[in-house]
Amino acid sequence: MMNSTPDPIRIFIGSSPKNTIEEAVFRYTLQKYTKSAIEVHVINGQAGTATNLTTGEVKKLPLNLINRIPGATAFSLGRWAIPEWCGYRGKAIYCDSDQVLLADLAELWNFDLSGCALAAVPVKQAKSASAYIDSYLQTYLNVNDDYYLASVMLIDCEKAAKFSLSSLIDEMDRKVFSMSDLMYLGEKFRQYLNIEVKTLPSEWNHLDYVDETSKLVHFTNLDSQPWRFHHHPIAKFWEDLFLEAIAQNALSQDTVKTAYANGWITARMKAIAIQNQSYPESINQIWRRWSRIRLAIARFVTHQIKRVRFVWSRFTARSTSVGNAEI
């Protein structure tokens, strides 16, 4: 008798010990909005492992490979081991931990890859808060090449058998393509491996931005993530999900306290977690608004200092030039 039970949706979440809070909120939203069974694997970029949260099975990168990609690089590159960890069979979804889901994950899982190895949102089609575009994406917007956001990917593991993480690192060492080419699925990376990337609708990776079309929101700007700062423009949106996760026992008070003790979240996050719904929203609003004002002042002052330094450098250069001419 054939087994009619469909395979669970297989998702790998890029994380680390310091990401436990946002990871827990993300996993809560996966369960909240998805009706199908989900098989969650958490990639610990620090340890170079992927843990199946259902079975407890832990898959590791070879020790010699971990030594080649220490620290933040390991966190970034762990996603490229997913096809190997899956035995180059079936599909997998990759997401960073600093995201929240707002739609049924089955929609992404069943997205038609049309024979492509990967699907991701093109950088040029991304919806994003202006601050993130100005600070991080301009390099990839003002070029002829097409780049993609590898922070959310649907992967055909069989078609991705053209590469392994070890081979990708070897090719970067040989300067065949750069880290940026790899992490943004650039043309050199695609051409060398002869793979195509299917365009994923932008609503599957809205960057620090939410609207009625959003299916997944990515809090990607490290300078404004709402669990670490107070000034994010949609902080309340994330905080509401944070409190929901606590209320639904998807996030424990002990985990929150540990995160605060390690400096991974702000005192305000700890306070609203402990008091939950009784925490006055008026105080929260004042806290967030004052933080945004301070940030705006700091940015204005920094900009003015840069302008003064630029004018002064031009003035001194001109004075030196005039002095030399008189001599």
Rg (CA), the chain: 23
Q: What is the pLDDT along the chain (327 residues), one digit of tens a residue?
A: 344 457 899 999 999 999 999 999 999 999 999 999 999 999 998 888 999 999 999 998 877 776 666 555 566 888 999 999 999 999 999 999 999 999 999 999 999 999 999 999 999 999 987 767 777 788 888 888 899 999 999 999 999 988 889 899 999 999 999 999 999 999 999 999 999 999 999 999 999 999 999 999 999 998 889 999 988 889 999 999 999 999 999 999 999 999 999 999 999 899 889 876 555 566 666 656 655 566 556 555 665 776 677 567 666 766 666 565 556
Cβ burial of 315 (10 Å; 0-12, 13-18, 19+) is exposed
How many whole angstroms separate alpha carbon 16 and alpha carbon 14? 7
How many whole angstroms separate alpha carbon 155 and alpha carbon 164? 13
In the chain, the amino acid numbered 153 is: M
Whole-model pTM: value is 0.83
Place of tokens 């390099």: 139
**Which domains are delineated in the chain?**
9-207 (3.90.550.10)
Residue 269 Cα distances to 89, 226, 230, angstroms: 41, 9, 9
The DSSP letter of residue 137 is: I
